[in-house]
Amino acid sequence: MRTRPRLYVSYSSEMALLPTWTQKISALIFFALLVVIPFGVIPGFGFLADNDWMKILSRVAIFAIGALGLHILSGLAGQVSLGHAFFVGIGAYTAAILGGEVGKGTWGLGLPIWIWLPAAAIVAAAIGAVIAPVAVRVRGIYLAIVTLGLVFIGEWMFRSLPFITGGSQAGRKFPGLEFRLWQEEVPLIDFTSDGSWFGVEMTSEAKTYLLLLVFVIIGVVIAKNIQRTRIGRAFMSIRDRDIAAEVMGVADTKHKVMAFALSSALAGVTGALMGAFVGRLIPEGFSLFLSIQFVAALLIGGIGTVSGTLLGATFVIVLPRLVQDFTGLLASTAESGTGVLAAIAAFFVSTAENDPGIVSTLPGTSPGLNIAQFNLLLYGLLLIGFLIFEPLGLYGIWIRIRNYWKSWPFTY
């Protein structure tokens, strides 16, 4: 058995969450590395413990939960959706009403996190279940257009309800990441302030990251367990051939509605955590671009796999920071004005008003693309590139590397 790790002697062992000892040990090591990141003890990656990188990793965690929701709907059930941002907004404003304080012209009940966070999932799931029977009457590109309409409806609705959302371009304050039993003034656990945990001094960014890491692990366990249950197999049969699945006894509409509800629930949790993490959101933030980011995470990471979804979520959130740092490096190289590297950098970046570079580092209107526009361009190019050359995304690249390593030095 030790020399044949892929030999299974029972169906239950093959369908286990982590069926091999290699996977169990790898998952344990990876989880341990994620936990110790805030302490800066990982050689070569100590910079991740800085507050700005802690915030980026927290955003990755929040985004990964929403991407896992879209993975259930699109990756497992095969239902194309461009309306994920709508359900993220529903979850966010459910949390704002239940957990937020009463403001000038805005509603709020000031309830604790153990009420408003599950409520965000329940309300979003309920709305998803109500919308699903209408949406699943169509398929393919038509379903994508229907869900796209939800985003536009959501944008109009969020702008038109200032007593809930705070109004266009203004937004409202969201409840913080604090744990209270009810409405006592001093929270039992405050994740938004520096302090000591079990005798270890930690920043608020580190506390928030560890809390969000717990939610991500819960989301991963939910997604992985759904995939190996009877419901998950029904989802995948509908994805592969819905008519054949229905002929074999799979309730097509029922399972599509379940997929919409589960996906919407995780999107609602994402919205609630996003609002609590940022502190203030405007209605315009739940736009089509947010939905495109979730779709990009699935396509770039590897649609249909939990590992690929997590890789894609990390890539989509970290990419703007990498672009910003790399652009700054090119700008400083171009400004040195000497050598071949300076000439190449000057071709890519614009550091002066009359400098015709591709990417501009100047504030305001200037020649070339700004960082945000360049990120949009990269998203488009990456989506096209992965769809054409590597449909399995980053997960497919990892599979190629793993298979090459396992077969080395043989090529067959």
Give the DSSP letter string of 363-396.
SSS-SSB-HHHHHHHHHHHHHHHHHHH-TTHHHH
Burial of 148 from C-beta contacts in 10 A (0-12 / 13-18 / 19+): middle
* Token pair for 181: 């039993």
Please state, in angstroms and rounded to a whole number, the distance separating the CA atoms of residues 90 and 147: 14
Sequence-separated (6 or more) residues with CB below 8 Å from residue 130: none
Please state, in angstroms and rounded to a whole number, the distance separating the CA atoms of residues 409 and 398: 18
Please state, in angstroms and rounded to a whole number, the distance separating the CA atoms of residues 361 and 357: 9
Sequence-separated (6 or more) residues with CB below 8 Å from residue 162: 105, 106, 168, 170
Tell me how crowded residue 186 is: count the other CB atoms within 10 A of its CB.
7
Report which secondary-structure segment, H or E, holds 359: strand 359-360
Contact between residue 206 and residue 127 where contact means Cβ atoms under 8 Å apart: no
Contact between residue 66 and residue 121 where contact means Cβ atoms under 8 Å apart: no
Domain boundaries, the chain: 52-288, 305-412
pLDDT at 1: 43
Given a cut of 70, the residues of the chain with pLDDT beneath it are: 1-6, 337, 355, 363-367, 411-412
**Amino acid identity, position 327:** T
Tracing tokens 């990417």 back to the chain, one arrives at 359
- What are the angstrom distances between the C-alpha of 329 and each of 47, 335, 345, 347, 363? 17, 10, 9, 13, 17
* Token pair for 412: 């067959």
pLDDT at 7: 73
Tracing tokens 């000038």 back to the chain, one arrives at 104
pLDDT at 5: 62
Q: Is 226 helix (H, G, I), strand (E, B) or coil?
A: helix
Antiparallel, parallel or unpaired: β 200-202 and 280-281: unpaired
Sequence-separated (6 or more) residues with CB below 8 Å from residue 95: 116, 117, 119, 120, 174, 175, 271, 272, 275, 276
Q: Is-cis flag, bond preceding 409, omega within 30?
A: yes
Please state, in angstroms and rounded to a whole number, the distance separating the CA atoms of residues 78 and 268: 20
pLDDT at 334: 80
Contact between residue 208 and residue 277 where contact means Cβ atoms under 8 Å apart: yes
Contact between residue 125 and residue 69 where contact means Cβ atoms under 8 Å apart: no
Tens of pLDDT, residues 225-277: 998 889 999 999 999 988 899 899 999 999 999 999 999 999 999 999 999 99
* Token pair for 280: 């203030």
Sequence-separated (6 or more) residues with CB below 8 Å from residue 31: 217
Please state, in angstroms and rounded to a whole number, the distance separating the CA atoms of residues 160 and 162: 6
Whole-model pTM: value is 0.93
Antiparallel, parallel or unpaired: β 359-360 and 349-350: parallel
Q: What angle do CA 208, 205, 298 make, to 5 degrees?
A: 65
Please state, in angstroms and rounded to a whole number, the distance separating the CA atoms of residues 396 and 299: 11
* Token pair for 400: 């190629």
Please state, in angstroms and rounded to a whole number, the distance separating the CA atoms of residues 242 and 305: 20
- What are the angstrom distances between the C-alpha of 324 and each of 292, 319, 329, 374? 21, 9, 9, 10
